[in-house]
Amino acid sequence: MNGQAILPPPLLLTASPGDVPPARSLEGILNPRPSERYHLRMTTVRRIGNNPRWSDIVIHAGTARWVEVAEDRHQGVAGQISQIFAQIDATLLSIGSSRADLLQIQIYLSDLADAAVLNELWDAWVPAGHPPVRACVGVQLGPGCLAEMIILAAAPAESTD
């Protein structure tokens, strides 16, 4: 790069027909010449099921983001992971997406020795030809919680709650 900052993805440019685009530097965007008729526009952030501490789902720029933990933490790791996958399916349905729209899942296990159980359930759950990006790490989770997942999925512009 030539030392100029690049425009971050959430910031979008719109132009009137016939306009000549300015340089894609941050300086050109923040300090446009008066003759340039470009307008900055942020895409809408949609929050579903929010409370003072977090939102259940956040949808922005065509991507939905949310976290899942098992509702019944009395089950073993296989039961908790299966619950999480069912909860992901329910959320995908509620936002108008599917497993094929999954982009990334970050998986946290309280014991990495459970990765073999995760992989067996994962392979049966992920649609062939549409695996999302995935990372799995071992961490200390809350009491009774054996797995937690952070999910990103493509979401249609208009979805239902």
Give residue-wise pLDDT tens across range 35-49: 554 455 567 899 999
CATH superfamily for 45-154 is: RutC-like (3.30.1330.40)
- Band of pLDDT at residue 1, cut at 50, 70 and 90: very low
Least confident among 3-17, 19-33, 138-152: 3-17
Residue intervals of the chain classified under CATH 3.30.1330.40 are 45-154
The residue-averaged pLDDT of 133-155 equals 97
Distance between CA atoms of 151 and 57, rounded to whole angstroms? Answer: 10
Q: What one-character-per-residue DSSP string does 57-82 give?
A: EEEETTEEEEEEE-S-TTS-HHHHHH
pTM of the model: 0.73
